[in-house]
């Protein structure tokens, strides 16, 4: 190899070796703050938004941390009005069903239908509430919270049990709260522990 070709390579290596700044000394690139997946807030039921889809938008590690069996069951959609999927709890997969849903039904509509539940369990998330559905069997309990993309609702039921409504409300509320805490929500509850 002629010396003329080797000279630029040798000079480049020499300059790099003598440079006071190495790659290790370069300042680290700032880590961007993760964008919230779910933001609590009001929504217009007739608004132009995609309903929050808990079946696909909640990261698997968050679902697993909430004690849910993965993968979730196939989702059921009602056009752009709602999406629903089911799973079970890791600790008792044969006992009950955990439902996760997103929809466009505001609390006011639930209240008008007289479906709000009194203090079975008090959710700690601002604006969260408990309700039942028409045809309540006496143990139905849905823990819900409004987001900017509709409601996020969690319910739990064990068909063959003598447990009372408070038991089901507690399971649904705990799961809702865990998921909200771990999705990067930024309206007064940024704890991700």
* Other residues' Cβ atoms within 10 Å of the Cβ of residue 177: 19
CA distance 111 to 92: 33
Give the tens place of pLDDT for each residue, 106-121: 999 999 999 999 876 7
Contacts of 61 (CB under 8 A, 6+ apart): none
- What is the residue whose two structure tokens read 């089901």? 168
Name the least confident of 6-15, 126-135, 137-146.
6-15
**In the chain, what percentage of residues exceed pLDDT 70?**
74
CA 85 from chain center: how many Å?
A: 13
For residue 91, the model assigns a pLDDT of 81
Structure tokens at 156: 């739990």
Q: What is the pTM of this model?
A: 0.75
Asked if residue 51 lies in contact with residue 150, where contact means CB atoms within 8 angstroms, the answer is yes
For residue 12, the model assigns a pLDDT of 43
> What does the buried/exposed string (b/e) look like for 55-85 if buried means 16 or more CB atoms within 10 Å of the residue's CB?
bebbeeebbeebbbbeebeebeeeeeebbbb
SS (H, E, C) 57-103: HCCHHHHHHCCECCCCCCCEEECCCEEEEEECECCCCCCCEEEEEEE
Pairwise pLDDT comparison (144 vs 1), residue with the higher score: 144
> What are the sequence ranges of the domains in the chain?
54-181
């Amino acid at each position: 190899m002629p010396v003329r070709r080797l000279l630029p390579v040798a000079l480049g290596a020499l300059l790099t070796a003598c440079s006071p700044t190495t790659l290790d000394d370069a300042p680290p690139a700032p880590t961007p703050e993760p964008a919230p997946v779910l933001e609590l807030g009001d929504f217009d039921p007739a608004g132009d938004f995609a309903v929050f889809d808990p079946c696909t938008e909640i990261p698997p590690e968050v679902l697993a941390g909430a004690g849910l069996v993965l993968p979730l069951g196939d989702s059921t959609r009602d056009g752009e009005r709602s999406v629903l999927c089911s799973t079970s709890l890791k600790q008792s997969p044969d006992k009950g069903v955990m439902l996760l849903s997103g929809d466009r039904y505001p609390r006011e509509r639930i209240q008008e239908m007289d479906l709000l539940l009194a203090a079975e369990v008090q959710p700690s998330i601002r604006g969260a509430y408990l309700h039942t559905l028409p045809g309540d069997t006496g143990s139905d309990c849905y823990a819900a919270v409004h987001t900017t993309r509709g409601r996020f609702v969690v319910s739990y039921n064990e068909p063959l049990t003598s447990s009372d409504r408070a038991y089901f409300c507690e399971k649904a509320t705990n799961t809702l709260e865990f998921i909200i805490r771990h999705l990067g929500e930024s309206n007064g509850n940024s704890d991700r522990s």
